[in-house]
């Protein structure tokens, strides 16, 4: 996208008035993504891909700590593999896209997820308890063909993700793994992306096809829709039995293995945009921003060389923050201010002849659009403090919003009213697939995002039966 001072404008749509149009406009003007020639696909541009690379880097550190190694498995999966685990096959049937060519009479699907093809290999690689635990992750793309209503990052037919697949001797080890990954996901999403989340178990209606248990990480977007930011599955022994993933134990007997799988995707970028952005564009938390500082020299003809020299000197001091200088003379300072606000750079530093005379700079923090004058000698210390404050402020603001939108309902009518107010609604609901699907239809598509066990028994909002299960109900992406 080539831009000139004449054709670039600020964000026209207001976030609070039309979130959908605002989101689309921000993605285009901040050069995050573009639409592909095929419906439901997107082109991820460098501004967004650098965020994904930073997420990858942060999570790869965690994988290294937990001795989980990266690998890569094929894109195409034989149709017969999906039929080996019945519930999994049924759950993914609408999402499969097949290539037209057949080999030996079999069709091949483009992967929607990789459990089946990975576990076919695991069955060959695992022989003894000495081969366990086996812990791998892959970074790849997947295709979910059923998506009709698409929105860049939030819901597309193709997306990038990581998927971890681990094999253990015991269920206790598998449970420990999903608890560890759950906490790792929370750290990435809350501490790096500054997005507060709800974490809990999925209901029978919403859990992963073929899993014994699914834990989900859910965020709330400004339009009141929940966004699933990651899932962690205890697969039990279902896939091990389907794919013959067995090992000879210390007791010299054969046992089926216990397995887990877990993943998050480029959907996190969409969550980041929606959660923190404002009517000027993106706001990037410092921990995820590729460039934390932009330096804008204020040029006047007489002092141009002096100002540029000082900007370069300060840029060298701030290199550890991935700072850069916008010294383009064909654009006005005001135009450059607007551009970097639109693209969410956490801190802007302004330097002109007046600042040089006083040995100071002007700092503008993106989260508050607030100017502050700082002495040059205090710059590094102050920058570190301000970046920390921005990160904390973004999380605090988003957390307050999430907490204020969690309410209770004791009747279906009350539930429907609270959903209209863009809330996540806590209700008593029996953990039964049929009951939840009926309530989903009544509420126009709302589902349980997480469930939890209450200390006190209550009355199911749909059936009138006594239950201890509380569901957090919301509409979702």
Confidence band for 146, pLDDT divided at 50, 70 and 90: confident
* Helical residues (DSSP H) of 405-468, grouped into ranges: 412-420, 433-442
The structure tokens listed for 399 are: 């957390």
Domains of the chain, first to last? 19-276 (3.30.930.10), 293-386 (3.40.50.800), 406-474 (3.30.110.30)
Torsion of CA 239, 241, 244, 246, to 10 degrees: 100
> What's the pLDDT score for residue 253?
97
- Cβ 54 vs Cβ 69: under 8 Å: no
For residue 289, CA distances in Å to 138, 194, 344, 390 come to: 24, 12, 8, 12
> What's the pLDDT score for residue 6?
42
The structure tokens listed for 221 are: 């977007």
Q: Go through 249-265 and write b for each residue having 16 or more CB atoms within 10 A of its CB, e for each that does not.
A: eeeeeebbbbbbbbbbb
Angle, vertex CA 430, rays to CA 429 and CA 434, nearest 5: 105
> What's the pLDDT score for residue 360?
96
Work out the number of other CB atoms within 10 angstroms of the CB of residue 396. 12
The structure tokens listed for 408 are: 């209770």
The structure tokens listed for 261 are: 């799988």
Q: Is 215 helix (H, G, I), strand (E, B) or coil?
A: strand
Question: At residue 170, what are phi and psi to the nearest 5 degrees?
Answer: -125, 160
- Cβ 16 vs Cβ 130: under 8 Å: no
Rounded Cα distance, 69 and 151, in Å: 32
- Cβ 155 vs Cβ 143: under 8 Å: no
**Closest by Cα among 320, 332, 344 to 296:** 332
Confidence band for 86, pLDDT divided at 50, 70 and 90: low
Rounded Cα distance, 356 and 405, in Å: 48
Rounded Cα distance, 220 and 379, in Å: 36
> What's the pLDDT score for residue 2?
42
Q: In this model, does residue 11 exceed pLDDT 90? A: yes
**Closest by Cα among 433, 436, 431, 434 to 458:** 431
Looking at every residue in the chain, the average pLDDT score rounds to: 94
Lowest mean pLDDT among 86-100, 153-167, 276-290, 391-405: 86-100
Question: At residue 225, what are phi and psi to the nearest 5 degrees?
Answer: -95, 140
Confidence band for 475, pLDDT divided at 50, 70 and 90: very high
Lowest mean pLDDT among 147-156, 267-276, 358-367, 462-471: 147-156
Confidence band for 209, pLDDT divided at 50, 70 and 90: confident
> What's the pLDDT score for residue 210?
87
Work out whether strand 76-78 and strand 97-98 pair parallel, antiparallel, or are unpaired: unpaired
State whether the Cα torsion 123-124-125-126 is positive or negative: positive
Rounded Cα distance, 326 and 324, in Å: 7
Confidence band for 149, pLDDT divided at 50, 70 and 90: confident
**Closest by Cα among 6, 51, 4, 5 to 27:** 51
45 contacts: CB under 8 Å, gap ≥ 6: 31, 32, 33, 34
- Indicate the helix (H) or strand (E) that contains 335: helix 333-342
Q: In this model, does residue 4 exceed pLDDT 60? A: no
For residue 4, CA distances in Å to 9, 110, 330, 332, 336 come to: 10, 41, 9, 11, 11
Strands (E), 254-351: 254-256, 258-265, 293-297, 324-325, 347-351
Confidence band for 9, pLDDT divided at 50, 70 and 90: low
**Closest by Cα among 323, 318, 269 to 292:** 323
Confidence band for 89, pLDDT divided at 50, 70 and 90: low
- Cβ 474 vs Cβ 220: under 8 Å: yes
**Closest by Cα among 104, 434, 122, 397 to 260:** 122
Q: Give me the DSSP letters along 440-455.
A: HHHTTS-EEEEEEEEE
> What's the pLDDT score for residue 207?
94
Query: Could you report the per-residue pLDDT of 172-207, keeping only the tens digit for each?
Result: 999 999 999 999 999 999 999 999 999 999 999 999
């Amino acid at each position: 996208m080539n831009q000139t001072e004449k054709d670039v404008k600020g964000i026209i749509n207001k976030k609070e008035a039309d979130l959908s149009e605002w989101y689309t406009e921000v993605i285009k003007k901040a050069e995050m993504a573009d639409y592909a020639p095929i419906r439901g696909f997107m082109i991820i541009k460098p501004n967004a891909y650098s965020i994904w690379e930073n997420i990858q880097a942060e999570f790869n550190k965690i994988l290294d700590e937990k001795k989980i190694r990266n690998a890569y498995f094929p894109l195409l999966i034989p149709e017969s593999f999906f039929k080996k685990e019945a519930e999994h096959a049924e759950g993914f049937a609408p999402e499969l896209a097949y290539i037209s060519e057949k080999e030996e009479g079999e069709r091949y699907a483009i992967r929607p997820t990789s459990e089946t093809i990975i576990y076919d290999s695991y069955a060959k690689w695992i022989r003894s308890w000495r081969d366990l635990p086996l812990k791998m992750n892959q970074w790849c793309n997947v295709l979910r063909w059923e998506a009709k209503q698409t929105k860049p990052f939030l819901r597309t037919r193709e997306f990038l993700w990581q998927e971890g697949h681990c094999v253990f001797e015991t269920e206790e080890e598998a449970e420990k793994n999903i608890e560890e990954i759950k906490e790792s996901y929370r750290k990435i999403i809350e501490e790096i992306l500054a997005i507060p989340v709800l974490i809990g178990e999925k209901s029978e209606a919403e859990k992963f096809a073929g899993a014994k248990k699914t834990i989900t990480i859910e965020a709330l977007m400004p339009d009141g829709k929940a966004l699933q930011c990651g899932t962690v599955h205890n697969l039990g022994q279902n896939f091990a039995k389907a794919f013959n993933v067995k090992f000879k134990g210390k007791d010299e007997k054969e046992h089926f293995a216990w397995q887990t799988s877990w993943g998050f995707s480029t959907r996190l970028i969409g969550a980041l945009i929606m959660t923190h952005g404002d009517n000027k564009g993106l706001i990037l938390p410092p921990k995820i921003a590729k460039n934390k500082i932009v330096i804008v020299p204020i040029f006047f003809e007489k002092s141009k060389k002096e100002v540029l020299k000082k900007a370069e000197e300060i840029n060298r001091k701030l290199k550890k923050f991935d700072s850069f200088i916008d010294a383009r003379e064909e654009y006005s300072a005001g135009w450059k201010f607007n551009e970097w606000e639109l693209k969410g750079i956490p801190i802007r530093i302004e330097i002109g002849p007046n600042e040089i005379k006083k040995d100071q700079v002007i700092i503008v923090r993106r989260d508050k659009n607030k100017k502050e004058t700082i002495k040059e000698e205090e710059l590094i210390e102050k920058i570190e403090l301000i970046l920390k404050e921005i990160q904390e402020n973004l999380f605090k603001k988003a957390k307050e919003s999430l907490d204020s939108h969690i309410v209770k309902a004791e009747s279906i009518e009350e539930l429907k009213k609270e959903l209209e107010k863009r809330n996540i609604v806590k209700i008593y609901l029996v953990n039964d697939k049929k009951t939840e699907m009926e309530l989903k239809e009544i509420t126009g598509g709302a589902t349980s995002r997480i469930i939890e066990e209450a200390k006190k028994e209550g009355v199911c909002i749909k059936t009138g039966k006594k239950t201890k299960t509380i569901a957090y109900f919301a509409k979702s992406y």
